[in-house]
């Protein structure tokens, strides 16, 4: 499970310290709720400000991952952009890196436009791409032309273009090499051991120093520990927050765009 059922970043600190002590960096993420009110988005901005200040104060080996919907995307995209930029700007001053995660298909163009806008002002921001979309190859090469930091995942929701999971895996394999060679901060985020082993071979053979292997907490921990001991940079995604509002409010809002059946048809690999 990649989620800690605790409401504050302080309650995540023992796990962060434990992972850091074993040579693993962390990506903290506040459990996202698709807010239906403006007050909720302000609360999440405050949570991320506090997380940034905590990382800086305690000198944690951690960055942050945020999701666009928790900052008001479904209420007002302009509001979401303003909120996210506040977080990125605060993190930039503190020297903390921010990953902007990718969500359902309707958010892709907006998220990429947001990233390009942020990248012009701040050097501490990267974006996630999902290999289960055909368009991802085009999006990736555009990002690589600008030396962007990119996290590549297979995909979390079942709204992709490929008919089989093997096709998604094949596309991931196809995109992995250009990502590793040309991204300013390439992140291979998967639990597919064959893909991870191939990524490690490419990284080692070509002495790629800025690449990361990324995982959800408690899914591939032993593989991450072993890889870190081999000298690879590994990062574990660690979510924290309050679970009940996530299910009650978050999934209710998602249902306006995608049916519950398709949303729960997710895969983690």
Q: Which residues are catalytic?
A: 101, 151
The rounded distance, in Å, linking the Cα atoms of 250 and 235 is 26
Tell the burial category of 77 from Cβ atoms under 10 Å away from its Cβ (0-12, 13-18, 19+).
middle
**Mutual angle of helices 77-94 and 38-58, in 10-degree steps:** 10
Phi-psi region for residue 218, left (φ > 0), alpha (ψ -120 to 50) or beta? left
DSSP 67: -
Reported residue count of the chain is: 269
Question: Do residues 62 and 12 touch, judged by C-beta distance below 8 A?
Answer: no
Kind and range of the H or E element at 25? strand 25-30
Structure tokens that stand for 159 in this block:
């709204």
**Helix or strand (DSSP H, E) at 102:** none
Cα distance between residue 176 and residue 134, in whole Å: 14
Cβ within 8 Å of residue 267, ≥6 positions away: 154, 155, 156, 158, 165
47: nearest Cα among 2, 110, 90, 101? 90
Report phi then psi at 100, rounded to 5: -95, 110
């Amino acid at each position: 499970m990649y989620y800690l059922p605790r409401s504050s970043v302080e309650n995540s600190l023992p796990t962060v310290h434990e992972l850091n002590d074993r040579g693993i960096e962390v990506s903290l993420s506040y459990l996202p709720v698709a807010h239906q009110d403006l007050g909720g988005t302000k609360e999440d901005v405050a949570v991320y400000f506090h997380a940034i200040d905590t990382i800086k104060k305690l000198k944690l080996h951690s960055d942050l991952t945020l999701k666009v919907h928790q900052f008001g995307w479904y209420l007002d995209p302009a509001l979401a952009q303003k909120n996210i930029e506040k977080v990125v700007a605060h993190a930039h001053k503190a020297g903390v890196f921010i990953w902007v995660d990718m969500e359902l298909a309707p958010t892709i163009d907006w998220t990429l436009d947001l990233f390009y806008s942020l990248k012009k002002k701040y050097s501490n921001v990267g974006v996630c791409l999902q290999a289960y979309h055909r368009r991802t190859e085009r999006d990736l090469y555009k990002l690589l032309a600008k030396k962007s930091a990119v996290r590549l995942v297979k995909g979390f929701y079942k709204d992709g273009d490929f008919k089989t999971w093997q096709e998604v895996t094949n596309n991931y394999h196809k995109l992995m090499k250009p990502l590793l060679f040309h991204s300013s901060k390439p992140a291979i985020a998967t639990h597919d051991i064959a893909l991870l082993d191939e990524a490690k071979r490419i990284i080692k053979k070509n002495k790629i120093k800025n690449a990361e292997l990324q995982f959800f907490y408690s899914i591939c921990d032993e593989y991450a520990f072993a890889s870190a001991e081999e000298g690879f940079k590994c990062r574990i995604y660690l979510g924290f927050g309050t679970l009940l509002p996530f299910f009650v409010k978050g999934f209710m809002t998602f249902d306006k765009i995608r049916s519950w059946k398709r949303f729960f048809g997710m895969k983690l690999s």
